[in-house]
Structure 1
Amino acid sequence: MQLEQNRYQIQGVNVLDMAEEFGLPLYVYDADKIAEKIGQLQAAFRGVPLKIKYAAKALTNVSILKLMRSRGIDIEVVSTNEIRLALLAGFEPGQIMYTPSGVSFTEIQEALDLGVRLNVDSLPLLEWMGQQYGDRKPVGIRINPHISEGGNVKIQTGHIDSKFGISIAQRDQIRALVEQYSIPIIGLHIHTGSDFKNADAFLNGAEVLFELASDYPNLQFLDFGSGFKVAYREGDHSTDIVELGRKVTVAFQDFCHQYGRQLELWFEPGKFLVSESGVLLVNVNIVKENPARTFVAVDSGLNHLIRPMMYDAYHEIVNVSNPAGEPKTYSVVGYICETDTLGWDRSLNEVRPGDVLALKNAGAYGFSMSSNYNSRFRPAEVLVFDGKPYLIRRRETFDDLMRNQIEVDFEEEISVKNN
């Protein structure tokens, strides 16, 4: 993807041309960037049997899932609807790892009926699996290692107060249930959060799994989750994938030697694979000069990209319509009837009404966390593949907003009652 000054293109396709063809606001994804990130991971772990399980929640468009499958990637899901999307995209049930968090046993049953693999995240679920299936259904176990790592506290998932996984302090209880019901344990899973800057965070979690693995002689894989840090601005730190591959490979192979046989090493990247592939293109409605600052109001907001307001996430913003304009300082805000600032005090080439702005690193948790708040439509999505833009989701319409609503004429009901 090239969005540098005077080169606002994705695989040679000008983003302004896509804005004109498909309308704004618009999510655009670069298939080449996704392939590049997949290649980085595969190259870094050539020394081990690696399986990459794309964390579908980051971006669930079925065309993106098909692209992942075509690149030899498996998939990790967190709901039965994500399972159905994965199956629709052509994944075999055995390629799908389902890692729920506190869902109903009814949903678990639905997932198992679809034939997917299950990561167990609680002692009650482990016991239910034993009572329902005994030794007939192999499962993985998600462990909470009591490690506080990662970025924003809202995306830290491995600390002692986290709802995710079974506490490592309950190791004896896990083993007791497994032995009581003869539950086949084929994998151990850990995911302590996101935005890890170096390999040491993974090695800390790995040591927990290596130690726990001695309880289970028939493991097939260890799943280290994900959390790779991506760069959101110039000079921002990102996870050194080469260093990660080198250090984790050595530690994993040493473990396998001690364990007595070779296991598979799994990762579940979501943001790492798709974040940099995506941009959100928006139109400038007005430029509003206040005494304190100048606001740029656009035709989008937290209903389309909630990460800045939810996580204080930084997304670089570029004025693609005026690359030669004099830089000025603006705060870019949305049209939602609530504070929905997309970027405070940004240096942008002069912004005028009607200009198109591009918000970078918008591929992960952008559309997938979008909503119809304020009864706004969600945007269209486009995937650029082999130099050609493909519409992979139509823009919503008013009919979409009304599709599941049921109109009841209470005025007539009240009139009948009063008469």
Structure 2
Amino acid sequence: MELQQGVYRIQGIDPHALVKEFGSPLYVYDADKIVSQLRTLKTAFAASDVRIKYAAKALTNLSILKLLRKSGSDIDVVSIQEAQLALRAGFEPAQIMYTPSGVDFNELIACVDLGLTVNIDNLSTLAKFGKKYRDTYPCSIRLNPHIMAGGNLKISTGHSNSKFGISVHQLPEILETVSAHNIRINGLHIHTGSDITESDVFLKMADILFGLAKNFPHLKFMDFGSGFKVAYKEGDVVTNVNDLGQKLTKAFNEFCEGYGRKLELHFEPGKFIVSESGHLLVRTNVVKKTPTVTFVGVDSGLNHLIRPMMYDAYHTIINVSNPGGEKKQYTVVGYICETDTLGADRMISEVREGDLLALKNAGAYGFSMASNYNSRFRPAEVLIINGQAKLIRERETFEDLLRHQVEIDI
């Protein structure tokens, strides 16, 4: 979203026009930004045989998935349902990495039947996989490197107390299981969390994977997960992906020479690709002054964007209806019957009832984590592509709330 001649616009389109056509609240995504972020990563790691596998859980709208597939992305999924969405969007099974956490083994079997790359994160499942498939179907192993990284404990996944991955200290048990069932391991995977700004974290992961790789002679790829940090507010430190690309691809290519053949280098970015593309447009219902705080109540809340309440995530909030207004301090809250703060103590251009506000960086884990809490409808989604606003999901209706309920005589 840019301020052009005193008016905020998304790819040249006035947000007010979008809300007039599609209603409020409204999720709006910028296709150009999504494609640009994907290209940035592919360019940064171009010196290797890189595969960018978009983490579907960040935003699963079929139109977004189709855009990414057309732009040269592969995809990472964490459920059979995400896998089915990926296939519906046109991804080939070979492009899909399935990395579940604690799922029923029958779901893993279903993903094997679909021909997906399977990534296993616990010894119990690895043993079951080996008993059923032995060397007839390869799999990857997700490892826990015992590295604390990322901007928030709730989104850090590689530390010693994380549920994700098989501990690197359990390598003897891994090798025993692989040998006992003649399992063919074709990949090693590490993901330590989100909002990682230091290249050194990825280089530490590389050292761990490179050291373990000699135990697995059939590798085709190494997967470094993601966690690339994007800016949520002015002055934020972000991941220097070009610096990381130079350092990591150099180390990776040197490893491949020693390993004896060239492997693929995989990443699974979600937030990095779609976060900055997204805006949640909301309408101001009430401006409520108290002796200590001025609240701005809007027609949305944690049912549409839970990250501020769940992760203390920061989303820049701007008043698109009064961009030149005097800056005043507000706490922006939702209409949910809970503590429902979208942004506390923010300096925003003077807000009046009826004004349209935009929450930035709403592309990742916004709609995909939305709910019907308080029996509220989930919003519509719009994609700005080729200069046009395209509806890619309709706003829910009361009939949607009733769709799967079964009324019985009481």
Q: TM-score range by the shorter chain?
A: over 0.9
Once residues 90 and 3 of structure 2 are traced to their aligned partners in structure 1, the CA distance between those partners, rounded to angstroms, is 33
* Paired amino acid for 2:124: P
Indicate the percent of aligned positions where both proteins have the same amino acid. Answer: 63
Between 1:5-14 and 1:113-122, the stretch displaced more is 5-14
- In structure 2, what is the Cα distance between the partners aligned to 1:5 and 1:101? 49
Instruction: Tell me if 1:242 matches 2:242.
Output: yes
Q: How many residues align?
A: 410
Shift, 1:5, TM fit: 7.8
Q: Is the CA contact 1:280–1:362 (under 8 Å) kept in the aligned structure 2?
A: yes
Deviations 1:263-286 (A, max 9, x none): 110000000000000000000000
Give the TM-score, by structure 2 length: 0.99
Q: In structure 1, what is the equivalent of residue 388 of structure 2? A: 388
Distance in 2, Cα, partners of 1:264 & 1:299: 46
Aligned to 2:191: 191
Tell whether 2:21 aligns with 1:21. yes
- 1:25-54 CA-to-partner distances (Å, cap 9, x unmatched) read 000000000111011111111110000000
Question: Distance in 2 between the 1:172 and 1:238 partners?
Answer: 37
Give the AA of the match of 1:361.
N
TM superposition shift of 1:3: 4.9
Cross-structure match for 2:346: 346
Partner of 1:163: 163
* Amino acid in structure 2 at the alignment position of 1:268: E
The alignment partner of 2:214 has SS state of helix
Shift, 1:7, TM fit: 3.8
Distance in 1 between residues matched to 2:6 and 2:21, nearest whole Å: 20
One-letter amino acid matched to 1:120: I
> Are the equivalent residues in 2 in contact too, given 1:134–1:183 (CA < 8 A)?
yes
Task: Compute the displacement of 1:217 (Å).
Answer: 1.0
Worse overlay, 383-392 or 172-181: 172-181
Q: Describe how 1:5-404 pairs up with structure 2 within 5 A.
A: 6-404=6-404
Structure 2 residues not aligned, in runs of 5+: none
Counterpart secondary structure, 1:231: coil
Q: What is the aligned partner in structure 2 of residue 405 from structure 1? A: 405
Cα pair 2:112 2:118 within 8 Å, conserved: yes
* Counterpart Cα distance in 2 of 1:309 and 1:6: 32
CA shift digits 1:346-388 (9 cap, x unpaired): 1111101110000000000000000000000000000000110
Aligned-residue Cα RMSD (Å) equals: 0.9
Listed as ranges, the gaps of 5+ residues in structure 1 are 411-419
Deviation at residue 4 of structure 1 after TM alignment: 6.8
Q: Which residue identity is paired with 2:246?
A: R
Runs of 4+ in 1 over 3 A off after TM superposition: none
The amino acid of 2:66's aligned partner reads: K
8 Å CA contact 1:11–1:386 kept in 2: the answer is: no
Structure 1 residue matching 2:251: 3-state secondary structure: helix
Deviation per CA, 1:171-205, whole angstroms, max 9, x where unpaired? 01111111111111110000011100121111111
User: Does the CA-based 8 Å contact 1:5-1:323 persist in structure 2?
Assistant: no
CA distance in 2, matches of 1:250, 1:278: 33
